[in-house]
């Protein structure tokens, strides 16, 4: 068997006519920047998440920048987050001149351990960023409660969790600002780069809307320092179609995850989804001994895998200046050593899931 990890060609083929015609119509209108589809998408995103405001932007990294810029994070500030995430979460903190302050993760969900945050809050702390890793949101009620006590804004990096729910409420509508990414391999991916920010706060929304277009409030009048952070109209047109079918995709992913867990959970540590959460399964990641060998062997047997993430952020070279060392975040370090992501996409057949599971079990 030759299995596809994310199967993007199939996702396109499934609704090819609709995509082609939507893309064509943008090209014909040539309203490539801020065309009508962008406004339509933002309305759709609002109604999907239930947030008062949704602002599309260039990618999930810029979404994090917009969120932090609107809060006013900069030089000398500290932002608390997890070291077990994609680099963008912490890179953007550093990019704005602030200092990432890491907290270890919860061993069952791999999300930020809320209980370990309070002792790290200082006068310089300006925000907390939780990451909804692999498609599942962190313990937001506890996090919001703690943040409220210290009057800190909470940003949810929902790049992997758009569509997930926490106690019945949608990801990206659970804190001061939610951010997401429409990178092609994310659960809701477009045909290039894309992202969005979400908030129920009018003032932050206005700021982020302006900052997305060079801090402009009126053409060539710049109230804030901003960025060129718009989403292309073509990507918005694609997302409007994807979003129509998105709940079906989520269900398919959830069924595949259930199958994997059924086959694997007796022998290896499969993902834990808390009872009040639903996951959109950005990744289906398990812990295995001898990870590098398992990955190599699976590849030979036609099963592509990925490692999210091999090096926790506190041990990344670019963060040497923060002076963290090995052993500072033992759970993140331990998980990083043995985690492996199996193929996950709405098109995997039961037969393929069985094959992948059998091959994996055969190797451990
Ligand atoms: C993908 C990702 C991002 C960045 O999104 P881009 O659209 O690639 O810029 C940020 N945070 C997390 C957790 C991600 O997985």
Segment holding 178, helix H or strand E:
strand 177-181
Could you give the C-alpha distances from 273 to 5, 205, 257, 315, 331, in angstroms and in order? 22, 31, 11, 27, 18
- What gap in Å lies between CA 255 and CA 239, rounded to an integer? 23
Nearest CA to ligand 1 atom 6: 60
- The residues of the chain scoring below 70 in pLDDT are none
- What gap in Å lies between CA 54 and CA 39, rounded to an integer? 10
pLDDT of residue 1: 87
Could you give the C-alpha distances from 29 to 23, 36, 143, in angstroms and in order? 10, 10, 46
Which of 68, 160, 193 to probe ligand 1 with, by most ligand atoms within 8 A of CB? Answer: 160
- Identify the CA nearest to 228 among candidates 33, 45, 72: 33
> What is the CA(60)–ligand 1 centre distance, in A?
5
Query: Which atom of ligand 1 approaches the CA of 132 most closely?
Result: 13
pLDDT of residue 222: 98
> What is the CA(18)–ligand 1 centre distance, in A?
27
> What is the CA(163)–ligand 1 centre distance, in A?
15
- Identify the CA nearest to 72 among candidates 178, 211, 174, 252: 211
Which of 60, 184, 285 to probe ligand 1 with, by most ligand atoms within 8 A of CB? Answer: 60
Nearest CA to ligand 1 atom 2: 159
Taking the model in full, what pTM does it have? 0.98
Within 6 A (CB) of ligand 1 lie 59-61, 85-86, 88-89, 131, 157, 159-160, 181, 183, 193, 195
């Amino acid at each position: 068997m030759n299995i596809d990890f994310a199967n993007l060609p199939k996702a396109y083929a499934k609704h090819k006519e609709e995509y082609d015609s939507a893309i064509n119509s943008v090209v014909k209108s040539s309203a490539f920047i801020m065309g009508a589809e962008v406004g339509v998408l933002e309305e759709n995103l609002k109604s999907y998440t239930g947030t008062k405001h949704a602002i599309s932007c260039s990618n999930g990294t810029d979404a994090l920048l917009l969120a932090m810029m609107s809060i006013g994070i900069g030089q000398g500030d500290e932002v608390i987050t997890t070291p077990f995430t994609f680099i963008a979460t912490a890179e953007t903190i550093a990019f704005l001149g602030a200092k990432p302050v890491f907290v270890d993760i919860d061993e069952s969900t791999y999300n930020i351990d809320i209980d370990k945050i309070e002792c790290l809050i200082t006068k310089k702390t300006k925000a907390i960023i939780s990451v909804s890793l692999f498609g599942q949101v962190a313990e937001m009620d506890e996090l919001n409660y703690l943040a409220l006590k210290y009057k800190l804004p909470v940003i949810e990096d929902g790049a992997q969790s758009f569509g997930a729910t926490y106690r019945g409420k949608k990801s990206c509508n659970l804190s001061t600002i939610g951010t997401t990414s429409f990178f092609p391999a994310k659960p809701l991916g477009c045909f290039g780069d894309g992202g969005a920010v979400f908030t129920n706060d009018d003032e932050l929304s206005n700021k982020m809307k302006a900052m997305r277009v060079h801090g402009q409030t009126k053409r060539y009048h710049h109230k804030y320092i901003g960025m060129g952070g718009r989403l292309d109209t073509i990507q918005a047109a694609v997302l409007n179609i994807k979003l129509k079918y998105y709940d079906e995709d989520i269900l398919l992913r959830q069924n595949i995850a259930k199958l994997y867990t059924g086959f694997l959970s007796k022998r290896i540590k499969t993902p834990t989804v808390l009872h009040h959460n639903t996951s959109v399964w950005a990744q289906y990641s398990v812990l295995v001994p001898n990870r590098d060998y398992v990955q190599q062997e699976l590849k030979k047997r036609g099963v592509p895998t990925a490692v999210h993430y091999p090096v926790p952020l506190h041990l990344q070279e670019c963060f040497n200046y923060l002076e963290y060392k090995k052993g500072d975040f033992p759970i993140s370090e331990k998980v990083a050593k043995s985690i492996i992501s199996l193929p996950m996409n709405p098109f995997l057949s039961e037969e393929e899931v069985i094959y992948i599971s059998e091959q994996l079990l055969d190797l451990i």
